[in-house]
Amino acid sequence: MMTHGGRVIEWQRKSGRTYLDFSANLNPWGPPREVKERWRELFYYATVYPPLDCSFYREELAKIYNLSSSFILPTNGATAGIYLLARQLPGETVLILEPCFSEYARSFSRAGKKIERIFFPAPLNSLPPADIVVWGNPTNPWGVSPPSFLLDYLWETSLKKGTILIVDEAFQEFIEEKTSWVSRLGENPRLYIIRSLTKYFTLPGLRGGFIAAHPSSCSFLEEYLEPWSINSLLARVLEIIAQGDLASFRATTQENLRREKQFIEENLKGEIGELFPSEVNFYTIRLRQGKELFSSFLEERGILVRSLSDFFGLDDSYFRIAVRTREENQQLIEAVRDYARELG
Tell me how far apart the alpha carbons of residues 182 and 192 are, in angstroms, rounded to a whole number. Answer: 9
Tell me how far apart the alpha carbons of residues 78 and 322 are, in angstroms, rounded to a whole number. Answer: 19
Helix (H, G, I), strand (E, B) or coil at 202: coil
Q: Contact at 8 Å (CB) between 24 and 203?
A: no
pTM: 0.95
Q: Is the peptide bond before 31 cis (omega within 30 degrees of 0)?
A: yes
pLDDT tens string 313-344: 999 999 999 999 999 999 999 999 999 998 87
Tell me how far apart the alpha carbons of residues 63 and 73 are, in angstroms, rounded to a whole number. Answer: 14
Tell me how far apart the alpha carbons of residues 245 and 255 are, in angstroms, rounded to a whole number. Answer: 16
Contacts of residue 145, defined as CB under 8 A and 6 or more positions apart, other chains included, come to 137, 138, 139, 175, 179, 279
- Interior/surface letters 34-68, b for 16+ CB within 10 angstroms, e for the rest: bbeeeeeebeebeeeebeeebebbbebbbbbbebe
Runs of H (alpha helix) within 8-147: 8-15, 33-36, 39-42, 55-65, 78-88, 103-110
Query: All domains of the chain, ordered by start, with CATH?
Result: 8-31+247-343 (3.90.1150.10), 33-243 (3.40.640.10)
| Cα 310 to Cα 42, 101, 268, distances in angstroms | 38, 10, 24
For residue 1, the model assigns a pLDDT of: 43
For residue 289, the model assigns a pLDDT of: 87
Residues of the chain short of pLDDT 50, as ranges, are 1-2
Going by the DSSP 8-state scheme, the letter that residue 321 receives in this structure is E
333 CB-contact burial (10 Å; exposed 0-12 / middle 13-18 / buried 19+): middle
- Length of the chain counted residue by residue: 344
In the chain, DSSP finds a helix count (H) and a strand count (E) of: 13, 13
pLDDT tens string 60-106: 999 999 999 999 999 999 999 999 999 999 999 999 999 999 999 99
For residue 2, the model assigns a pLDDT of: 43
The four Cα atoms 151, 152, 154, 160 give a dihedral, to 10 degrees, of 160
Helical (H) or strand (E) element with 194: strand 191-196
Q: Is the peptide bond before 141 cis (omega within 30 degrees of 0)?
A: yes
Residue 334 neighbours by CB distance under 10 Å: 13
Strands 209-213 and 72-75: antiparallel
Tell me how far apart the alpha carbons of residues 171 and 194 are, in angstroms, rounded to a whole number. Answer: 10
CA 322 to chain centre: 12
